[in-house]
Amino acid sequence: MNSPMLCPRKFLVMICLAIGWAPLLSFAQDDFDREPIAYARTTPVNAVSRLQARLTAGEAALAWEPGTGYLKAVLEALDVPVSSQLLVFSKTSLQRQRINPRTPRALYFNDDVYIGFCQQGDVLEVSVADPQLGTVFYTLDQAAEVEPEFLRQTDNCLICHGGSQTRNIPGHVVRSVYPDASGQPLLASGSYRTDHASPLANRWGGWYVTGKHGAQRHLGNRIYHGRPDNETPVDASGYNVTDLADRIRTAAYLTPHSDLVALMVLEHQAGGHNVLTRAAFDSRAALYREDRLNVELKEPPGHRWDSTNIILNSAAASLVEYFLMHREAVLSEPVSGTSPFAQEFARRGPRDSQGRSLRDLDLQTRLFRYPCSYLIDTESFDALPGELRARFWQKLDDVLSGRETSEKFAHLTTADRQAIREILQATKAGLPADWGTK
C-alpha cells in the first residue's frame, strides 16, 4: 500500500514535536522550573517580596505580640482584613501537628495574599499570587528573638501545591475532607477539591463555618467516623452555626468567626488564581517554544504556528469561562455570614457612576451580583502575556454582546451582560480603548 511522502518542512516539524519544542505541548508537573518560567531561579516580585525589601531597608517594622506573634503586624502591613478569618481543623497543611478540632488553623486573605496561623506555631505560613511565578510560598519565624524575615519556600510546599491537585502549577488547594476526632482526614472516605462550581453539599469538611444557609447542607463543623451515606441519619449539629464558643477557645484567635461568605469568596479566588497561572504558563511556554522553533526552521520572527493559536485560544477561553462563573453552583436559599467580611470585601473595589462594582455580592442565588470575577483587577491578570489578554478581551466581548451563544454562558441574563460591560468600561484600568464598541 502506498503512503504519502513527507516534505522536508513537515519532516522537520515532526522532529521538533518529538524532542519537545512543539508549542502544542502545555506545561506538565515540574516544567515550571524550566525556561521560560524558571520558577525556583527567578526572583519573585510581589506584595510579600516588596514588604521584605522594606523590612531589609529599615523602612518598615513588624511588632511581635504574645499569643499571635507577628500575625497582627503582618496582616496590617499586607492589608489583609481580619474579617477574612477562616478556621480549618483538618490536618491538611504544613504544621499539622498543631491542628485539631480544638486548635484549628486560622487563615486570612486579601486579593493576592494568604496567611496561615497556628496556635503555638513555629512559623506563619504565607503564600502570594506573583504576577510572573503564580503562587509563591514563604514562612515567617514566630520566635520573638528572631528578626522577622520572609523566607521563600519551594520544594517542601510544592509537594502538595505543585502537582495534579493544582493542575501542575504552583497554586492553591481548597479541600473538603471527612476529618476524625483528631482532625485526621479519613482518606478512604474521599475528599473534594472545591471552588465556586462545587455543590454546597460537598464543601467545608474539616472547616468551621459560621453563618446562615437555611436547609442547604454542607460538611463543615463536624467530625466523622466514616463517610455518611443515604442510610445515615442527618447530623444537623453543623448547620447554621453562629457561635463556635462551645467548640474552640475563640479568644485564642483574632475574631470568633469562620465566616461562610469569606469561605465562598476564598474558594472562588483560589481557583481563579490557579486558572490565571495555568493560562499564563501555557501561553508563555507556547510563545517561547514558537520563538525557538522559528529560529530552528529559519522562519521570520513572529511567525505564528497554528499550535500556538490553539494554546492561546484555549487559555483565553478557560479564563473567560471561569471569570464569568461558568458552572457556578446555584444557591437554593440565601446565605449570610457572621462577620463584617461581606461589607468590607465589597468596599475594597472600584465602582462605576451608578455605584456598581464587581465586588458586590448577591448571596441569594449566587455569589456575585454581577457575575464577573474581581480578579480581573489584579496584578496577575494585568501581567498576562499581551496576546493572551487580547484574546481574552475579544472572547469576553463575544459573550457579553451575545455573539457567543454557547450554553456555558446561559446563566448570564441580558441585564447581567450589560451591567458587566458597563462596569468594566467605567472601572477597568488598561481596558482596550475600543473594547465593546465594534
- The predicted-structure confidence for 373-384, as pLDDT tens digits, reads as follows 999 999 999 999
Strand partners, 137: 127, 153
Q: Where are the domains of the chain?
A: 271-427
Residue 310's H or E segment, with its range, is helix 306-323
pTM: 0.92
- The predicted-structure confidence for 344-390, as pLDDT tens digits, reads as follows 999 998 999 999 999 999 999 999 999 999 999 999 999 999 999 99
> How many other CB atoms sit within 10 Å of the CB of residue 235?
12
pLDDT score, position 224? 93
pLDDT score, position 228? 80
Q: DSSP letter at 100? A: B
pLDDT score, position 7? 37
Indicate if the pLDDT at residue 336 is higher than 70.
Answer: yes
Average pLDDT, the chain: 91
Q: DSSP letter at 376? A: G
pLDDT score, position 155? 67
Residue 77's H or E segment, with its range, is helix 71-77
C-alpha cell at 390: 487580547
Contact of 244 with 349, CB cutoff 8 Å: no
pLDDT score, position 94? 82
C-alpha cell at 312: 492561546
Strand partners, 153: 137
Secondary structure of residue 35 in the 3-state scheme: coil
Longest CA pairwise span in the chain (Å): 82
Contact of 173 with 194, CB cutoff 8 Å: no
Contacts of 257 (CB under 8 A, 6+ apart): 83, 85, 210, 244, 337, 338, 339, 341
Contact of 360 with 398, CB cutoff 8 Å: no
Contacts of 254 (CB under 8 A, 6+ apart): 68, 71, 72, 75, 82, 85, 106
